[in-house]
Chain A
Amino acid sequence: GAVVSQHPSRVICKSGTSVKIECRSLDFQATTMFWYRQFPKQSLMLMATSNEGSKATYEQGVEKDKFLINHASLTLSTLTVTSAHPEDSSFYICSARPADMLQETQYFGPGTRLLVL
């Protein structure tokens, strides 16, 4: 089946530093990937849609200069949390839909736990 990986799985950083999270589709190509954020006991909230070769589309209320998204290839999207602060601590999850599959299905990565001290 379609597999999506994320790296790192967990990261702890100091306030003010930047953190990069990678999302890879391992066995399929994905022109579109999605980035979500999930706080404890809450549902997933879409942050942005990552489009290969073009700019990401951000959801309302998500700062594009703080959450930099790059989708440089058909199998890799990166999310960089710039100047991270404790309130950015959360569980970040990406998803992707195989471009050549008939099913209307998105596959999710295992998530990245970010803790900003």
Chain B
Amino acid sequence: LAKTTQPISMDSYEGQEVNITCSHNNIATNDYITWYQQFPSQGPRFIIQGYKTKVTNEVASLFIPADRKSSTLSLPRVSLSDTAVYYCLLARGFQKLVFGTGTRPLVSP
């Protein structure tokens, strides 16, 4: 599966919107863009998944441009409790997921 690239960390403040961008230049037609959240000593938790345009759920929004070579996870009004590692992955059928470094938002009060 194609590799994804995302920043290792980013600074933010409580109450702000945090946008994490992920690059996936070699995304395939059958790949779905998927984001997971992982807290220390826990398994990753599914946040959101999309194929194109915009997807929104109760946790986050996912923006995908027409060329699908990147995507942006938007976390509205982050709090200290949102401090976790966020992974961007490409999912396709029953194939394995390849985890990159993930992004850790550094939320300050």
Number of interface residues of B (CB under 8 A): 22
Main secondary structure of the interface of B (DSSP, over half): loop
- The reply to whether A43 and B100 form a contact with Cβ atoms under 8 Å apart is yes
- The reply to whether A107 and B34 form a contact with Cβ atoms under 8 Å apart is no
Residues of chain B contacted by A6 (CB below 8 angstroms): 43
Asked if B2 is an interface residue, CB under 8 A from chain A, the answer is no
Asked if B13 is an interface residue, CB under 8 A from chain A, the answer is no
Q: Given A43-B87, A43-B100, A43-B102, do A107 and B94 touch, yes or no (CB 8 Å)? A: no
Contact with B along A30-69 (1 / 0, CB 8 A): 0110101000000111100100000000000000000000
Cα separation A106 to B35 with both chains bound (whole Å)? 11
Cα separation A47 to B41 with both chains bound (whole Å)? 18
Please report A residues at the B interface, Cβ cutoff 8 Å. Answer: 4, 6, 31-32, 34, 36, 43-46, 49, 91, 93, 95, 97, 103-111, 113
Can you list 9 residue pairs at the A/B interface with Cβ under 8 Å? A4-B43, A46-B97, A95-B44, A103-B49, A104-B32, A108-B36, A108-B44, A110-B42, A113-B41
- Nearest 10 A/B pairs, CB to CB: A108-B43, A104-B32, A104-B91, A44-B99, A43-B99, A108-B44, A111-B43, A32-B94, A93-B43, A110-B43
